[in-house]
Structure 1
Amino acid sequence: MGNVQLSLALSGYDHTRDLVEGRVATPGIDLVAIQLSIEEIFYRVAKFRDFDVAEFSFAKYVAMKDQDVNDITAIPVFPSRAFRQSSIYIRAGSPLRSPEDLREKRVGVPEWAQTASVWTRSWLHHEVGVRIQEIDWVQAGVSSPGRQEKVPLKIPVGVNYSSAPDRSLTEMLLDGTLDAVLSAHPPEPFKRGTGEIVQLFGDGGREEEAAYYQTTGLYPLMHVVTIKQDVLDAHPWVAGNLLAAFDRSKQNSLDRLADLNASRFPVPWLRDHLKDVERLFGGDPFPYGVEANRATVGKFLQFSYEQGVAARQLEVDDLFAPQTLSAYTL
């Protein structure tokens, strides 16, 4: 019997590179790797289930599980994690100076069920003290009109939420319709450095993000790897083999980062930065597996329920392929 051929859709990451390029073995599996933008992968997974294995929005996956959509199943591989205090954008010259100033303001999000937005709203609600009911929320595309929610929602009572299908968040922020935008994808004027749009935090939010981790122990999960359920029904061993391969590829990336023999990345003083990260996290900041992420996943499920991304409180073990819930030891 030959290997199982599976399509794999990922954005470009150094920590998945060895897997995508075949330098990490996937026993019994031949991967056909396709690199696409995150937005395209998410759209095609949500709409068409185009890929056997794919990176996907964690919030959208949780919403689908809540609705008993079970034709894709996750493995505990999280290719993207990010603190999101840095993802709050305002107009240059805005009177807003702190996250507390967002109370009773109009704030835009690309989608209510965007993972980054869930994390940022939870921080505002639980850590800053600005409840989600105290903000007027507007949903629209970041740069272009027409973006829509990809999953059904159950917006909590008392939350003022509306869509602006004919406008973009960037346009509304610049003309004053919005006071701020929460978005994983930065507005184009910010990316181009025009000076029209800036981050709420003058230092980019790093101090706030480090403080958040020190207070909560949470390094927010953004994306998860999913597998079509019919693949797992036919070949249940695929889940464990892929988890091991993703983990090996990530470790290779960390080894490259720590290599002092040559400049593997075009960044000076990288080893010093790694030492800072090690001091803050006390180990691997990007662990895979259920147990290493149980607390963070559990918190995200709480936040998803509180914000109406999920209509019920899901359990951590319900999200992942059963073959990945435990591992052998010697």
Structure 2
Amino acid sequence: MTRLTLSIAMGDYDRTRPIHDGRAPIDGVEPVTMLLSPEEMFFRAFRHQPFDVSELSLSSYCVKLAQGDCPYVGIPVFLSRAFRHSSIYIRTDRGIEAPQDLRGKRIGLAEWQLTANVWVRGILEGYGVAPSEIDWVRGGMHKPGRPEKIPVALPDDITLSPAPEGATLDEMLRAGEIDGYIGPRSLRCFDEGHPKVRRLFSDGVAAASEHYRRTGIFPIMHLLGIRRDLADCHPWLAGALFKSFERARSMACEALSDTSATKVTMPFVEDILETGRTLAGGAELWTYGVPGNEMVLETFLDLHHRQGLSPRRLSLGELFHPSAYESFSL
């Protein structure tokens, strides 16, 4: 049987390396894998569709889906999940001590549509701070002029202005020209220990844990997508990809649990794993598939629509390939 040669773009994670190195083969597929940064993957995928299979931003995927011209169909392989309380940075000289103090402040972001920023704005809503109560400034983090990868039309009550020509968000936060910043990556001023820049939540783990205990939400950032024409031509492909990526995820989890010699360059791995298991009540936190993730996905779809990114509220049944909503069992 001739195997289907597919280009696969994904991040370099413990949960994708078994795909990349062949330990988790894909039935019927000869993969040509590329380990890329999220920014490069998503920009290329949504602008030019050069990949047969690609990791995708959940938010940008929903933007294109709601617009009716998404070139990819999703598979519920959630290659990135992250609590985002640690993604809010503030100036220490602006009287910002709590989320409510962000009202009326100028807050920078790289793109309105970034999935992390959708979740952060949802977190702030939980504290009673609506997106319309903040003056947003969009720009490049360390290079000026970053565009939205997909054009979006925002609600009339949202104030979003571009950074001055030639300016970066890092420079603006250093100079005090903005009061804070939200995003999945930190700015260099924070990494370098700028004395007037810190995270809003000093203990992000505690804040996120409290949020999870209250809501049950472990935010989903990225999913896997197949080009629609391929999925239509090869109806078996979605299931084969899900099976392989789920196997790769399981292999990564098994490796993390083997603490005889830790598989990541970080101390206290066993303690952090125990913290996560305790938080989830002994269940797995990082899961793939629709079952068990319905509430997280529905919450995201609500936020996405309210924040003006999807002109209509998408339904859960639209998000993924039809074969993704059920699986066999023994």
Q: Structure 2 length normalisation: TM-score?
A: 0.95
- Structure 1 stretch 165-174 or stretch 246-255: which is displaced more? 165-174
SS in structure 1 at match of 2:82:
coil
- The equivalent of 2:5 in structure 1 is 5
CA contact (8 A) 2:109 2:183 kept: yes
CA contact (8 A) 2:61 2:70 kept: no
Any residues of structure 2 matched to 1:76-225 within 5 Å, and which? Answer: 76-125=76-125, 127-164=126-163, 166=165, 167-195=167-195, 197-203=197-203, 205-225=204-224
- Structure 1 stretch 259-268 or stretch 24-33: which is displaced more? 259-268
Counterparts of 1:194 and 1:132, CA distance in 2: 27
State the 1:86 CA deviation: 0.5
Counterparts of 2:100 and 2:289, CA distance in 1: 36
- The equivalent of 1:267 in structure 2 is 266
CA contact (8 A) 1:148 1:165 kept: no
- The equivalent of 2:279 in structure 1 is 280
- The equivalent of 2:228 in structure 1 is 229
For residues 265-314 of structure 1, give each alpha carbon's deviation from its aligned partner in whole angstroms, at most 9, with x where no partner exists: 33333222211110101321111001221111111000000000101110
Q: Which amino acid aligns with 1:245?
A: S
CA contact (8 A) 2:59 2:114 kept: yes
Check 1:221–1:165 CA distance in 2 against 1; reply closer, same or farther (3 A cut): farther
Counterparts of 2:174 and 2:261, CA distance in 1: 44
CA contact (8 A) 1:143 1:168 kept: yes
SS in structure 2 at match of 1:14:
coil
Residue 244, structure 1, aligned to residue 224, structure 2? no
State the 1:255 CA deviation: 0.5
CA contact (8 A) 1:14 1:253 kept: yes
Structure 2: give runs of 5+ residues left out of the alignment: none
- The equivalent of 1:20 in structure 2 is 20
Counterparts of 2:119 and 2:236, CA distance in 1: 33
- Structure 1 stretch 83-92 or stretch 174-183: which is displaced more? 83-92
Residue 306, structure 1, aligned to residue 293, structure 2? no
Counterparts of 1:309 and 1:70, CA distance in 2: 14
Once superposed, what is the RMSD of the aligned Cα atoms? 1.4
Structure 1: give runs of 5+ residues left out of the alignment: none
Segments ≥4 residues shifted beyond 4 Å: none
State the 1:151 CA deviation: 2.0
- The equivalent of 1:36 in structure 2 is 36
SS in structure 1 at match of 2:220:
coil
Counterparts of 2:259 and 2:190, CA distance in 1: 34
Counterparts of 2:16 and 2:285, CA distance in 1: 15
CA contact (8 A) 1:142 1:183 kept: no
Q: Structure 1 length normalisation: TM-score?
A: 0.95
State the 1:93 CA deviation: 4.1
SS in structure 2 at match of 1:45:
helix
